[in-house]
Structure 1
Amino acid sequence: MFRQFVRSFTLGLVMAASATAVMAEDAVKTLNFGIISTESSQNLKQDWQPVLDDMSKKLGIKINAFFAPDYAGVIEGMRFNKVQFAWVGNKSAIEAVDRANSEVFAQTVNADGTLGYYSMISVHKDSPYQTVEDVLKNAKNLNFGIGDPNSTSGFLVPSYYVFAQNNVNPKTAFKTVRGANHETNILAVANKQVDAAVHSSDVLDRIKARQAETASQLRQIWKSPLIAADPLVWRKDLPADLKNKIKDFFISYGKNGPDAAREKAQLNKLTLGGFQDSSNAQLKPIRQLELFKEKVKIEADVALNADEKKVKLDDINRKLNDIAKS
């Protein structure tokens, strides 16, 4: 009798949980898709809105574009469930995973089929500076443009490869340093408002397509190693069936169905070839990069005594080992 009660009770819980899941998905009438501020909201909305409109029709759910003045705004939106899924960079994806109950579910694929992009530093085509070393040697006389602190290509990658490895603190090395999105940095170099600036290769490609004359004013003096293509993230607490529908939409977009050609043309405006399945694993190299950058900083810190330095370095090495094993 008791066993029968337990079985009935357990079955009831399962059915209730299933009903709750169904109700949860049925209750979702609107979703907000976060878009990081790599360019002006006007340009981003122009390129992303048709994709979101297609998703609204496919899912039967209103999909709104969510813009914020900086990357942190999208992350905070996800943290407080004002944003349910988003296109972000790898660095901001780490913030979303660690602070906003989120996970990576897909990544972008470039129009040529490659799975990455580059951080770049450009000067005006008439600049006397030919290399990044020239810029660093003359930094105290130069105005420099850097990216959002949560940007992978705009901040993290150049912070490590250009500044940390050359033992340079950009905040004090340059005459002035200003932070802005990739598009703004490109325009600032073209208009000689800064002497050099960081930007990503994919945003430069979009500027070339829209404003060829502006892009022609720049000359690249540094290019990073390949960075993994931008991830898409969603909140973990989205209903499972809805997650499957969202992922299926992205993975198949521009590839299958009677509208594939039109969808492909829309992806081309985003300089994308499509999307593919991914996970938090794609963030491992960026996590390692952050720790390496911190390690270089600690090793160069003369204010730390030997014991303090050892404790901090041991902690970083432990974290690096944990990432390698995960």
Structure 2
Amino acid sequence: MNRRLFIQQASLFTMTLASAKILSACTSNSDNKSTTSTTNSSTAAIKEINFGVLSTESQANQKPIWEPFAAAMSQEIGIPIKPFYVTQYAAVIEAMRFGKVQVAWLGGKPYIQAAKVADAEAFAQVVSEDGTKGYYSHLIANKDNSITAKAIAAGGDKYVIENASKLTFAFNDPSSTSGFLVPSYYIFAKNGIDPKKAFKRLIFAGNHEACALAVANKQIDVATISNEVLSRLESTNPTARQKLEVIWQSPLIPSDPIAYRRDLPADIKKKFQNFFYNYKDAKILAPMKVSGFVEAEDKNWHTIRELEIGKKIEETKNQDNLSEQEKKQKIAELNQQLKEIQ
């Protein structure tokens, strides 16, 4: 895929979470002992690590998936690893920012924000069941909804654009990559459509599962979801899954990053790297719909940064309150930002 086509932005939302104590770890060695002793002292100083889990589904569905994985992590790292479940994407970012979460499995867009404000550093990337390092955003509709067959015939994105004023629509979360950022750019920004004004009713359902259930229960006509969550519904809620039809698929999105705070002790970082790069237990990974993890670095998610900037460019072009000169100046600044991350 042409990397330049994969460009977008979503507006950043104010995030709130009560401040938590910042993690501190004593790695000093007063009697000048060996590196092994330093490693042991770092491990001993940290009593517990919170591992941030994004809210793609309800906590009830997440626990059976994440707790065995956290137990395996705890055994390898030598420190108890506690899953930190959140109800909004912003919450895990703020928890990481204030040191309440030290390591997290993030989506692409939340990671970009966490790298800015929460001192997050990506070190691993998810590999899907089929071996790819990517996933997709979908639009879904209820199979029994009269619009579904028409949407498939016309092209789901085109149908939604042309009939928006008659439709109810649900995004996932404003910080979601597949549930907001990607469809916002490819379906709306590129076509000069403001979804806040276009639909009969627009909501943010909160997570992927909530979007799926809203469509399955005929509360919403069309909603966003990732292919990964759609696949997991086959086991977590097969009744709902059978009611859903995909009417649009996005280009490939870079798969999720695993990130830790930069101030985590170096020896603990190394332990996390060793765990993720070598973990292959299919029984535990299968419910996550992944086959493993590979080494990664921050630049792997430049595509998401490009998407954010691209969306700003498209939105600027359609801003009626700006003069042509103001538009040119703003677009030039955004294009410069694009050049700096390429």
Cα-to-partner distance string for 1:128-186 (whole Å, 9 max, x where unaligned):
33222222222122211101111100010001001101111111111211112111101
Q: Secondary structure at the match of 2:191?
A: coil
Cα-to-partner distance string for 1:193-216 (whole Å, 9 max, x where unaligned):
100000000000000133323212
Alignment of 1:253 onto 2:271: no
Alignment of 1:159 onto 2:184: yes
Q: What is the aligned counterpart of 2:224 among 188, 198, 206? A: 198
Distance 1:136 1:242, change over 3 A: same
> Aligned residue for 2:290?
272
User: What value does the CA root-mean-square deviation take over the aligned residues?
Assistant: 1.9
Q: Secondary structure at the match of 1:268?
A: helix
> Aligned residue for 2:14?
none
Superposed, which structure 2 residues align to 1:125-144 within 5 Å? 125-129=143-147, 130=151, 131-144=156-169
Looking at CA atoms only, which structure, 1 or 2, has the larger radius of gyration?
Answer: 1
> Aligned residue for 1:257?
none
> Aligned residue for 2:244?
218
Distance 1:127 1:267, change over 3 A: same
Partners of 2:226 and 2:116 lie apart in 1 by 24
Partners of 2:63 and 2:160 lie apart in 1 by 35
Partners of 2:259 and 2:334 lie apart in 1 by 27
Partners of 1:132 and 1:285 lie apart in 2 by 22
Q: Which amino acid aligns with 2:131?
A: G
Partners of 1:194 and 1:306 lie apart in 2 by 38
> Aligned residue for 1:30?
48
Q: Which amino acid aligns with 2:170?
A: G
Distance 1:177 1:276, change over 3 A: same
Partners of 1:17 and 1:228 lie apart in 2 by 41
Kept in 1, the 8 Å contact 2:216–2:243? The answer is yes
Distance 1:14 1:162, change over 3 A: farther
Partners of 1:17 and 1:323 lie apart in 2 by 40
Q: Secondary structure at the match of 2:146?
A: coil
Q: Secondary structure at the match of 2:82?
A: strand
Q: Secondary structure at the match of 1:274?
A: strand
Unaligned runs of 5+ in 1: 1-11, 255-262
Partners of 1:17 and 1:101 lie apart in 2 by 29
Q: Secondary structure at the match of 1:193?
A: coil
Q: Which amino acid aligns with 1:190?
A: A
Tell me the matched-pair count.
305
Alignment of 1:175 onto 2:193: no
Q: TM-score, normalised by structure 2?
A: 0.85
Segments of 4+ moved more than 3 angstroms: 12-25
> Aligned residue for 2:111?
93
Partners of 2:33 and 2:323 lie apart in 1 by 59
Percentage of pairs with the same residue: 43
Kept in 1, the 8 Å contact 2:61–2:236? The answer is no
More helix by share: 1
Q: TM-score, normalised by structure 1?
A: 0.89
- Higher RCO (CA < 8 A, seq sep 6+): 2
